[in-house]
Amino acid sequence: MHRADAITGAVLKALDEAGLRENTLVMFLSDHGMPLPFAKTNCWHHSTHTPWIIRWPGKVKAGSHDKKHVVGGVDLTPTVLDALGLPSFDGADGRSFLPVLAGEEQEERDFAFAHINTIASKKAYTMRAVIGRDYRYLWNGWHDGKKTFRNESLSGLSWKAMTEAAKSKPEIAERVEFYSKRVPEEFYHDRRDPNSLRNLIKAPEQKARVKKLQALLRKHMENTGDPQLKKLP
């Protein structure tokens, strides 16, 4: 956090010294941080929720915080092009959220999608997710009950501490097993359960929401020609 603050401050200072503050759109984005279990290369809340801070004098109201619209990294380039008065490029997966920056409402900003295919180790762990304001649906296409998940986060001290604690604490052992093997589908209330501790996929009261997000994912995969579509339940 200290380094991010220092670097951002240096960039903003340089813009001020160059006299470019008033006509420069500044966007600060980040990934999801360190390689920790239940974060890196997955589709949970802590895997995908990242900061997006914008300064644009005279265009974006200082101190404002939009909590209604859902945006994703694929929207970055179309938004910058739109701010420059240029059209988006052919085949763009995202679209401009310039109206949101102007404090306006924009339709079809209720959901975003996340994809995991092959990770840095070259191992394939197919995952898809529909991310809404409060809920998210995950599909683990790689799950077969036998395959074990392994990524960079399992080499750190956190995972070692979890596996050691699992020897004497059943609740930790359950989490370790879940992380390693998963289940075909997951459904979480991100606002109430940001750590993705309670999988609500079979909760009767969530049945309608689950079906809605399942349908959204299927449509998205159809529209994008996703080769994993045939594996969907």
Residues 37-46, mean pLDDT to the nearest whole number: 94
Give the torsion sign (CA, 190, 196, 201, 204).
negative
pTM of the model: 0.92
What are the tens digits of pLDDT across the range 162-183? Answer: 999 999 999 999 999 999 999 9
pLDDT tens-digit series, residues 190-231: 999 999 999 999 999 999 999 999 999 999 999 999 999 999
Amino acid sitting at position 130: V
What share of the chain has pLDDT > 70, as a percent?
Answer: 100
pLDDT score of 1 = 86
State which H helix or E strand residue 159 sits in.
Answer: helix 157-165
Q: 7 or 1: which carries more pLDDT confidence? A: 7
**Phi and psi of 138, rounded to 5°?**
-120, 140
Q: pLDDT digit string (tens) for 110-162?
A: 999 999 999 989 999 999 999 999 999 999 999 999 999 999 999 999 999 99
Average pLDDT over residues 87-109: 94
**What does the pLDDT look like over 49-74, one tens digit per residue?**
999 999 999 999 999 999 999 999 99
Q: Work out the average pLDDT over 89-96.
A: 92
Can you give the pLDDT at residue 86?
Answer: 96
Question: Which of 117-156 are b and which e, b meaning 16 or more Cβ less than 10 Å from the residue's Cβ?
Answer: eebeeeeebbbbbbbbeebbbbbbbbbeeeeebebebbee
Q: How confident is the model at residue 31 (pLDDT cuts 50, 70, 90)?
A: confident
Q: What is the pLDDT of residue 109?
A: 97
Give pLDDT, residue 187.
98
